[in-house]
Structure 1
Amino acid sequence: MPMKSDQPRSRRVAVAGATGLIGSQLVQGLCRDPEVTAVHALARRAPGFTHPKLHMLAVDFSVPITLPPLDEMYLALGTTIKVAGSQAAMRAIDVDANLALARAARAAGATRLGLISAMGANAASPVFYNRIKGELEQALAGLGFEALVIARPSLLRGDRAALGQHTRSGEIWGERLNDLLRPLIPRQWQAIAAADVAAALAQTVPTASGRVLLTSGAMQGAAQRSADTDSPA
């Protein structure tokens, strides 16, 4: 029988949308992971912190990209129609750019992929936002990754203004209503912290097999569970 190695795993990862609400949380968490040796942050501007493992890759998502050798890819890239300006421009980012980056990651050797999708993702949905999220999920499933982990969060909690992002009025009002009615709202539909989504994805991708779906309810509290696990006994 082969001997089990006591050597720690050495993982090289990339995060697209690295300066976004969830992407920035992913980058910080992966930098803290002792198994991760390199974190490549793909964004148009540098993340708001530095770390010895962190490597900035300034990219134009509208042109082809070649990535360094990778083991895992995390897709946290997305926009809104208000910011993009049209459905076509939004699709170019939420579907086309993510798909191109996933293909580049496969070419760079990545075997595991984590995706930030949406709770209502469905390629057959009459709602444009849900439909393109579902279309992306379907397209990624055909790229041959050993593991595809899809996180489908509900309404997100987080400080977009602090990241230099446009605030989303739907999130603001939804969060206020959520706080008011939280005891009556099923866990699956409750607003979820971006840190919980990032932690759940980062915990699952390294050991997953096949297609794994992370529901919003299951991801609630993931950041605290991760902190408790990492704390010394």
Structure 2
Amino acid sequence: MVNTEHAGRTALLAGASGLVGSALLTALLADARYQKVLCIGRRKLALQHPKLTQQIVDFQALPALPAVDDVFIALGTTLKVAGSQAAMRALDVDAVVAVARAAQFAGAQRLGVVSSMGADARSAVFYTRIKGEMEEALLRLGFAQTVIAQPSQLTGPREALGQPKRVAERLGLQVMRWIKPLVPANYQPIAAEHVARALLDAVAHNTPGVTRLLSGQMQA
């Protein structure tokens, strides 16, 4: 039974072409609490759905957005794909914050974002450092509710989404199958769909303030 208090909502989603983003889109479209889903991105998805509206945007110059209730952000890349640290930061930090700010101007009070395990703005590791910087910038925006998912290594259909093969990642997952019982839950690989479901459920729970979802918590 749908809670009528949360029914008829409009969700904004950025990053729907990625592993967690595509799983989030599937979950949002199937969720009776959401009447409309607006996806923004640099290219259009092939998917069509009665609840879905798509808008092509430049993340460096976002237009005013239509009214939304909740915003979900699953933007991210790798250094290899981005080509430089500056280009990676432009998407993983600047674009994420720009989307959150634009959604806030459009009325959003609840934010769900995909970050990373170990995110820390003072980390010596570039990847975890920019994730930490992104989290701190989002918290300064002051959403009524902010949910931050911090998954470990993600698993899912990368090739089906047109993402490049990651040989080292595949080898790591094979090794993990043998040693998984010895590895703490927060460090075990996690399916993208589990992250998406946990993030959506946490935002829907509507707990004021900041909630961080560790990888072990999000394991189905």
**Identity across aligned pairs (percent)?**
50
The structure-2 alpha-carbon separation of the partners of 1:170 and 1:107, relative to structure 1 and needing over 3 Å to count, comes to farther
Aligned pairs, number: 217
Q: 1:48 Cα deviation (Å)?
A: 4.0
Q: Which amino acid aligns with 1:175?
A: L
TM-superposed CA distance for 1:177, in Å, is: 1.6
What TM-score, normalized to structure 1?
0.89
SS class of match (1:68): coil
Unpaired segments ≥5 residues, structure 2: none
| 1:82 to 1:12, Cα distance in 2 relative to 1, 3 A | same
Residue 53 of structure 2 is aligned with which of 52, 55, 59?
Answer: 55
The residue aligned with 2:176 is: 178
TM-score (normalizing by structure 2): 0.94
The equivalences for 1:65-76 within 5 A come to 65-76=63-74
Q: Which residue of 2 aligns with 1:147?
A: 145
CA contact (8 A) 1:16 1:43 kept: yes
Q: Give the ranges of 4+ consecutive aligned residues of structure 1 lying more than 3 Å apart after TM superposition.
A: 5-8
Which residue in 2 is equivalent to 1:129? 127
Map 1:90-129; keep pairs closer than 5 Å: 90-129=88-127
Residue by residue over 1:163-213, the C-alpha shift from the partner in whole angstroms, topping out at 9 and shown as x without a partner, is: 011233342222112112111111111100000000000001122210000
Aligned residue type for 1:219: M
Aligned to 2:194: 196
Q: What is the DSSP-based 3-state SS (H/G/I as helix, E as strand, rest coil) of the residue aligned with 1:62?
A: coil
Cα RMSD, aligned residues only: 1.4
- Structure 2: distance between partners of 1:41 and 1:143: 21
Q: Deviations over 1:86-139 (max 9, x none)?
A: 001100110001111110000000000001000010001000000000000001
Aligned to 1:219: 218
Amino acid at match of 2:98: A
CA separation in 1, counterparts of 2:44 and 2:125?
Answer: 33
CA contact (8 A) 1:67 1:108 kept: yes
Contact 1:70-1:110 within 8 A present in 2 as well? yes
More displaced, 105-114 or 51-60? Answer: 51-60
Query: Are 2:73 and 1:43 equivalent residues in the alignment?
Result: no
Sort the Cα spacing of 1:85 and 1:115 in 2 relative to 1 into closer, same or farther, 3 A: same
1:65·1:101 contact (CA, 8 Å) conserved in 2? no
Structure 1 spans left out of the alignment, 5+ residues: 222-233
